[in-house]
C-alpha cells in the first residue's frame, strides 16, 4: 500500500474544515441539504484525523 504523507492528510483535514464552514453558511441561510454537507465534512475530518494519529503511532512503534 502506498504511503500517505502527513502533508496530504493535513490537506484533506483542511478540506474537511472548509466543507464544514460551507455547511455553516448554508445552514445560516436555511438551505436544503446543509445537514448532509455538515456530516460529510465532519466524516472527512474524522477519517483524516484518525489516519494522522495512526501514521504517527505506527512511526513510534518502529523507533523502539
How many CB atoms neighbour CB 59 within 10 A?
Answer: 10
pLDDT tens digits, 9-49: 999 999 999 999 999 999 999 999 999 999 999 999 999 99
Q: Is the pLDDT score of 63 beyond 70?
A: no
Q: Which three cell numbers stand for residue 29?
A: 441561510
Coil, helix or strand at residue 43 = helix
Q: Is the pLDDT score of 2 beyond 50?
A: yes
Cβ proximity of 13 and 45 under 8 Å = yes
pTM (predicted TM-score): 0.82
Task: Pick the closest to residue 55 from 1, 4, 2 (CA basis).
Answer: 4
pLDDT at 1: 47
Amino acid at each position: 500500500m502506498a504511503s500517505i504523507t502527513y502533508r496530504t492528510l493535513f490537506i484533506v483535514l483542511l478540506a474537511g474544515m472548509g466543507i464544514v464552514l460551507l455547511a455553516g453558511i448554508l445552514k445560516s441561510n436555511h438551505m436544503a441539504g446543509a445537514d448532509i454537507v455538515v456530516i460529510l465534512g465532519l466524516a472527512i475530518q474524522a477519517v483524516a484525523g484518525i489516519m494522522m494519529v495512526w501514521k504517527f503511532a505506527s512511526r513510534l512503534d518502529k523507533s523502539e
